Amino acid sequence: MSEGFRSSYDVRVRFAETDAQGIAHHAAFVVWLEVARVAYWAEHAGGYRAIQEQGLEALTTGLQIDYRATAAFDDVLTVYLRCVDVKGARFRYEYRVERGGELIATAETLHATVDARTHAPTRVPPWFVEAIARAEQT
């Protein structure tokens, strides 16, 4: 496990995610971060549906990716992630994307819980805060 991260999920670079040079397209990284984040929620917080069943949505409000190396078709990448800074209606994920221990990218996504109907910011539910705290315990 990459230092400081307690959760990770593997993704395999699909041919459709590569460009004419055979390199994974930068936009594919956004999808891989989401795949890992949704799997994290399923493992630790009852899944994304648990949030929706409360009449909430968890919107992505920001994204930052720093690319360090290329990935290619059929590479298996490990996406390490941790949820940090859960406050009010907002929370943040930090990521490391590695291939066999080599750092491929670092990233951060920002999120806000909102009322599903009105999109008004709504506090992160206590059960979600507790689930994240348990997942991130050291």
| Mean pLDDT in consecutive groups of 10 residues from the start of the chain, 138 residues | 90 96 96 96 91 94 98 98 95 97 98 96 93 88
| CA distances, 88 to each of 112, 126, 129 (Å) | 9, 10, 10
Q: For residue 42, which amino acid is it?
A: A
Q: For the chain, list the domains and their CATH numbers.
A: 7-136 (3.10.129.10)
The pLDDT value recorded for residue 40 is 95
